[in-house]
Structure 1
Amino acid sequence: MLDKPAPFVVNVDSVEEEQHLQGEHWGGAFKPLTPALDKRPGRLGVNLSRVPSGRSACPFHAHSREDEVFFVLSGRGVFRYGESVQEIGPGDCISCPADTGVAHQLANPFDSDLVYLGIGLNDPHEVCVYPDTGKINVRSLGRVGYLDDAPYYDGEPERPRIFELPVEPRSRRDPG
């Protein structure tokens, strides 16, 4: 059975909201509004995001490959960018360029929900760092964690494994 193609036009009211909550202060909810693009990594995508009072949608982080834009539709929040924090509200458009080493974060310390459009890429090779905790996210590996320093050859065997593998004779390779 073939998968039904994702719609090119969706109405926000027809999209089910997905929640991602952790404890009392982390997480929010979002509606993916670009399903026709979401199935192909590296494409531009848009989410309608909602951050309830007293929560931050995600930790302070910096992207290496993905620019992000946030457009505030309703509510108020705070935007942390590097060492600065400022209040944001309806009509504000926030740009977070990738590969600058400057981290960003949105949070809602106010009474009503913060609602915004989140726009960016879904790069399968993204690497994201979290300066508050020292974590790193390597999307292509599906891993979030901590890196430990190690010498370049640390853990490598005395004799490189390549010397133990069978070698295809030169005459059997395709010449062209």
Structure 2
Amino acid sequence: MTDQQTPIVNIDALSLDRWKQGELYESADTSFATMLGLKGLGVSYNEVPAGKSSCPFHNHHVEDEMFFVIEGTGEYRFGSARHPIRKGDVLGAPAGGAETAHQIINTGATPLIYLGISTKAATDIVEYPDSGKFLAKTRREGAPDRSFREMGRAGDSLDYWDGEPGA
């Protein structure tokens, strides 16, 4: 382990990034898997205020996600269903299509606090069914110049040969 890695992290010691986007999205959160020396898992701590969500409705084609509710109540939007959630609930979001799209929404009066745990695929496609967007991303550990991240909208596709020399 390096000096920055430890086998134990206490939530109280985490430094949270606080942010807000529009009227619907707000969170205080941080990722800390690297502090634990984990390379194949992503781990985040999230505090979402009442009436907010930390992310849009989305699904991953490669990465699996799991969430553990530490405090609060809310709603788990999963596929075409909505489920009430509360302290102690474990939520699954397996890789797949729109049927596994998911979003956690704080419908309670106090902060909704949860852990997010995910596999860390080198490459993933993320779809956003509400807005028709997609995210194509790939990352290479230790080689950020070889990473790729592109947000687009379905329907704006190009022909395979578009722009190719001599095509």
TM-score (norm 1): 0.79
Q: SS state of the match for residue 138, structure 1? A: strand
1:72 maps to 69
Tell me the CA shift for residue 39 of structure 1.
Answer: 7.4
Q: Structure 1 36/14 Cα, relative in aligned 2: closer, same or farther at 3 Å?
A: closer
2:85 maps to 88
Tell me the CA shift for residue 124 of structure 1.
Answer: 2.7
1:145 maps to 152
For 1:64, the aligned partner's letter is: H
Q: Deviations over 1:80-114 (max 9, x none)?
A: 01111111001111111102442111111221111
- Cα distance in 2 between the residues matched to 1:32 and 1:153: 40
| Pair 1:105 & 2:103 matched | yes
1:31 maps to 30
Aligned length: 155
- Cα distance in 1 between the residues matched to 2:78 and 2:8: 33
**Aligned pair partner of 1:62 in 54, 59, 62:** 59
For 2:67, the aligned partner's letter is: F
- Cα distance in 1 between the residues matched to 2:38 and 2:89: 29
- Cα distance in 2 between the residues matched to 1:46 and 1:155: 40
Q: Deviations over 1:38-81 (max 9, x none)?
A: 774xx112212111111111001010111111111110010101
- Cα distance in 2 between the residues matched to 1:101 and 1:60: 10
**Aligned pair partner of 1:155 in 156, 160, 163:** 163
Identity of counterpart residues, as a percentage?
Answer: 36
1:114 maps to 112
- Cα distance in 2 between the residues matched to 1:101 and 1:29: 27
- Cα distance in 2 between the residues matched to 1:21 and 1:146: 23
Q: Deviations over 1:4-49 (max 9, x none)?
A: 4422322211110122321222131213332246774xx1122121
TM-score (norm 2): 0.82
What RMSD in Å do the two structures reach over aligned CA positions? Answer: 2.0
- Cα distance in 2 between the residues matched to 1:25 and 1:132: 14
More strand per residue: 2
2:144 maps to none
- Cα distance in 2 between the residues matched to 1:145 and 1:138: 8
Worse overlay, 52-61 or 101-110: 101-110
2:6 maps to 7
Give the unaligned 5+ runs of structure 2.
139-147
Question: For the pair shown, which has the larger CA radius of gyration, 1 or 2?
Answer: 1
